[in-house]
Structure 1
């Protein structure tokens, strides 16, 4: 009852505020869900990078939240040829941490191989936003993002958010990584 009294008092001080009833919410959702106009569904798939560039796609997988997790990534040339791929376990964590660690592993490899002119794609919108800057990542990831931002600054890297359908192979690698004993490297797409 106290919450209702506070809400009523607050609305008297803020007359432009309007409570939304359950009926109003239903009407809005009904319009969206049962509209005769349907949006065109666009299937997003992996596209090769422009000539002279490389593309790294990364993904993290987690069985449970938190649960056992793994990372995976794939770096390809403009012809689609795989330069390298990785997958491996990262212990128990949540899915956001798995995505962050997958991006971190991919960027560490970019630094190790002194690669420049890359496009990095992932389907975790939060991780891509955090990497682009302007949005501060959670404090527990700050050290990883400091190192990743340094790698990005040293290279010509474009960051893109993609739909899960454009990251299918990386998703399979990350899932495979959950069951692995250690981080594995490939110079081809593993079967």
Structure 2
């Protein structure tokens, strides 16, 4: 390992307002270890950036991927029950985002989750 220098990659991330008439939902799920006590959170903002709804909850012993997925599922359920149809959901989980876009294989039974 002598002389090893890891390559660092970075890019700036900036939250942007949704377009007029749209909403944006940001989600997050976290676990101290995998699995361990976990929490999810979400917030919905309108096109002015005003907070419309926020939610967070402890979900017991779970993995971080389960927590991330729970956050997105709760966001979708909130939007559906409140007739919010024009919403962009943003997650900080590359793994979950790629699974949603069918770029990576989902490691559990999808039929369990109903929106």
Decide: shared fold, TM above 0.5: yes
Is 1:58 equivalent to 2:31 in the alignment? no
1:106 corresponds in structure 2 to: 75
2:96 corresponds in structure 1 to: 127
Bigger strand share:
2
Q: How far apart in 2 are the matches of 1:137 and 1:45? A: 28
Q: How far apart in 1 are the matches of 2:103 and 2:6? A: 35
Distance 1:117 1:144, change over 3 A: farther
Q: How far apart in 1 are the matches of 2:48 and 2:100? A: 26
Larger radius of gyration: 1
Distance 1:61 1:32, change over 3 A: closer
Which range moved further: 80-89 or 130-139? 130-139
Q: How far apart in 1 are the matches of 2:47 and 2:102? A: 27
Q: Secondary structure of 2:37's partner?
A: strand
Is 1:46 equivalent to 2:18 in the alignment? no
TM-aligned CA deviation for residue 117 of structure 1: 1.0
Partners of 1:104 and 1:144 within 8 A in 2: no
TM-aligned CA deviation for residue 65 of structure 1: 1.7
Q: C-alpha offsets along residues 60-98 of structure 1, whole Å, 9 cap, x if unaligned?
A: 011222110111000001100011000011110111111
Unaligned regions of 5+ residues in structure 2, if any? none
TM-score of the superposed pair, with normalisation by structure 1: 0.53
Higher relative contact order (CA 8 A, sep 6+): 1
Aligned residues: 115
Q: Hey, which bits of structure 1, 4+ residues long, moved more than 4 A?
A: 29-33
Bigger helix share:
1
TM-score of the superposed pair, with normalisation by structure 2: 0.85
